[in-house]
């Protein structure tokens, strides 16, 4: 029987939803990976200068050597100046994010600061902030890339299908969400689950770095290549980089960090579970061997 027009539209819509394209943002597509310097500075020219002080140098992606001086957390929470008009150009937003993040003395303060931050365009397309789940006092912290649709609805990281798999992987080493703190490099869902642009990631990086510093875990686990590349400075693909311990400088101390496969990858590639299981055994062993510095 020939399909009528409505059936065809319904099929196309269903295809888009399955592909993660479930929000309509505009009539014409925008390639944000290709925003030119000229466009960025044109936008900058229409915007007042940021009302925050000059920034520290950008945190390098690779972990800092242990011998470098440690950075003390400022004593006073200071609400960052937010610009509610045109979004700032990415380099300005990154500086604002860095200063705002550094001003947070606690995780609660940081959450409030991120909630009020307007410098990342993803905030305006996401339903809500996806800041964290699990136990902020846990010795183990997982960091993924960015929330998906289910996370955007619930406001918590890793609650969809890949989150359920992460729960099962944790259970396999005797942990549940009371034994881990969970966050993402980017705390807002990119529309249609697209990859965050390098600019969006750069803007959000100071927040996740501060979140790790304040949570102060004994072990950091990056879920997937993008998280490992952003936080650990790993250049290799995840297949090569996974399972290798590196050092991560939180800002107050150096902790061991490991990259492993993202659960979403494991859902697509079940053969990878064997390697991921090895990684989780290594995490469990390290938790047993490392001196306990947190209360949970
Ligand atoms: N994938 C991620 O990287 N993070 C989530 O929170 C969910 C899926």
Domain ranges of the chain: 90-289
Tell me which residue has tokens 């399955």.
18
Cα–Cα distance for residue pair 282/277, rounded to 1 Å: 9
Percent of the chain with pLDDT over 90: 68
* pLDDT classification of 64: cutoffs 50, 70, 90: very low
Over residues 203-217, the mean pLDDT reads 98
Ligand 1: which of 126, 131, 229, 262 to mutate, most ligand atoms within 8 Å of CB?
262
Residue 60 has a pLDDT of: 39
- The atom of ligand 1 lying closest to the CA of 130 is 6
Q: Is the pLDDT of residue 12 over 90?
A: no
Residue 86 has a pLDDT of: 74
CA 34–ligand 1 middle distance (angstroms): 25
In CATH terms, the fold of domain 90-289 is Uracil-DNA Glycosylase, subunit E (3.40.470)
CA 63–ligand 1 middle distance (angstroms): 23
Residue 132, both tokens: 């964290």
Lowest mean pLDDT among 19-33, 129-143, 163-177: 19-33
Q: State pTM to two decimals.
A: 0.76
Q: Is the pLDDT of residue 83 over 80?
A: no
* pLDDT classification of 68: cutoffs 50, 70, 90: very low
Over residues 112-141, the mean pLDDT reads 98
CA 268–ligand 1 middle distance (angstroms): 15
* pLDDT classification of 203: cutoffs 50, 70, 90: very high
- The atom of ligand 1 lying closest to the CA of 145 is 3
Per-position b or e across 176-210, b if 16+ CB within 10 A of its CB: ebebbbbbbbbbbbbbbbeebbebbbbbbbbbbbb
* pLDDT classification of 7: cutoffs 50, 70, 90: confident
In short, whether 190's Cβ falls inside 6 Å of ligand 1 is no
Which of 136, 137, 164, 172 is CA-nearest to residue 148? 164
* pLDDT classification of 2: cutoffs 50, 70, 90: low
In short, whether 162's Cβ falls inside 6 Å of ligand 1 is yes
In short, whether 133's Cβ falls inside 6 Å of ligand 1 is no
In short, whether 147's Cβ falls inside 6 Å of ligand 1 is yes
- The atom of ligand 1 lying closest to the CA of 184 is 4
């Amino acid at each position: 029987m020939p399909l009528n027009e409505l059936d065809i539209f319904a099929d196309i819509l269903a295809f888009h939803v399955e592909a993660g394209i479930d929000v309509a943002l505009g009539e014409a597509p925008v390639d944000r990976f290709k925003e030119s310097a000229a466009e960025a500075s044109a936008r900058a020219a229409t915007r007042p200068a940021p009302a925050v002080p000059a920034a520290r140098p950008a945190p390098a992606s690779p972990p800092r050597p242990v011998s470098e001086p440690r950075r003390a957390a400022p004593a006073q929470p200071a609400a960052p100046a937010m610009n509610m008009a045109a979004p700032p150009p990415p380099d300005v937003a990154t500086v604002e994010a860095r200063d705002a993040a550094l001003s947070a003395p606690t995780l609660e303060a940081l959450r409030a600061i991120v909630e009020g931050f307007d410098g990342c365009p993803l905030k305006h397309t996401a339903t809500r902030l996806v800041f964290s789940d699990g136990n902020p006092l846990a010795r183990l912290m997982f960091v993924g890339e960015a929330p998906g649709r289910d996370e955007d609805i619930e406001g918590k990281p890793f609650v969809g299908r890949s989150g359920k798999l992460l729960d099962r992987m944790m259970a396999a080493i005797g942990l549940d969400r009371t034994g881990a703190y969970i966050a993402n490099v980017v705390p807002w869902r990119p529309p249609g689950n697209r990859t965050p642009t390098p600019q969006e990631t750069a803007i959000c990086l100071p927040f996740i770095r501060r979140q790790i510093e304040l949570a102060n875990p004994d072990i950091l686990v990056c879920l997937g290549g993008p998280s490992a590349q952003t936080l650990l400075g790993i250049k290799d693909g995840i297949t090569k980089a996974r399972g290798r311990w590196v050092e991560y400088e939180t800002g107050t101390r150096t902790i061991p960090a490991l990259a492993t496969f993202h659960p979403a990858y494991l859902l697509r590639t079940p053969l990878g579970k064997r390697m991921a299981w090895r990684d989780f055994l290594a995490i469990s062993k390290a938790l047993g061997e490392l001196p306990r510095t947190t209360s949970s």
